[in-house]
Amino acid sequence: MPFSGKHIFFDLDRTLWDFEKNSQIALRHIFEEEKLHNFLPSFEEFHNLYVVENARLWKLYGQGLMTKEVLRYERFRVALSAYFTPEELLVKRIGDAYVEISPRQTALFPNAIETLKNLKSLGFTLHIITNGFQEVQFIKLENSGLRSYFDVIVCSEFIGKNKPDPAIFQHALELANCKKKDSLMVGDDYYADITGALNAGIQAILFDPKLKNTYNYEWVVTDLNAVSEMAIKLFFLV
């Protein structure tokens, strides 16, 4: 295997596990279960607002300005408050249901499994670095059939540092027992995954399926099946 001794670290949400699709399935289930149509104009309107507020609050969490306990419920409290004043019991029920239902969804990006199989066959050792909540990320990996492809799984919550902090990348390198020059990061978030990895001395591939790259970054793939070829090119540059 030509790339034995080389390591590829993957982000999970929005890179392998289709966060948007799985989240929407979970939210629609909760919307119907809680009969929120009695209070809200439509699921689509609620979902669009939730996505905006969730992204805003996750950014605060990533900056260390909000705890995960607050984030878990506040994103729903804020979204619902645009239409009515929700009871705390409802907010808590929805927050808990989402964390229970969402990670059990199994939608992956096209060619995710095929890409991992190919990389393993070439000799690459694969790992995960994620900013997601630890208790749900392992459920996602197990339920979607991804867990067996990865050796080291690093959740930012466990070490108290979020990507792009160099500390989480250094911690991952130490756990994987590999060197920076033998490592590569693949992720969808230019700030967290790409600049984080580069600042830690690790090469990186940006996964950009919706062609949102406005950073003029060179190493970009729009389909996961292109990761293998690009990874080989990058390692030969070292």
Write down which residue in 104, 120, 135 finishes a domain. Answer: 104
Do 99 and 146 have their domain in common?
A: no
Do 47 and 131 have their domain in common?
A: no
Contact at 8 Å (CB) between 196 and 107?
Answer: no
Do 142 and 200 have their domain in common?
A: yes
Q: Which domain holds residue 91?
A: 19-104
Query: What are 125's two structure tokens?
Result: 């050792």
Write down which residue in 78, 104, 130 finishes a domain. Answer: 104
Do 77 and 150 have their domain in common?
A: no
Tens of pLDDT along the chain (238 residues) come to 788 999 999 999 999 999 999 999 999 999 999 999 999 999 999 999 999 999 999 989 888 899 989 999 999 999 999 999 999 999 999 999 999 999 999 999 999 999 999 999 999 999 999 998 888 999 999 999 999 999 999 999 888 888 999 999 999 999 999 999 999 999 999 999 999 999 999 999 999 999 987 888 999 999 999 999 999 999 987 5
The pTM of this model reads 0.93
How far are the Cα atoms of 32, 75, 222 from residue 38, in angstroms, in the given order? 10, 20, 40
Query: What are 42's two structure tokens?
Result: 């439509």
Do 24 and 11 have their domain in common?
A: no
Contact at 8 Å (CB) between 151 and 141?
Answer: no
**Burial per residue of 47-77, b for 16 or more beta-carbon CB atoms within 10 angstroms, e otherwise:** bebbbebbeebbeebbeeeeeeeebbbbbbb
How many domains does the chain divide into?
2
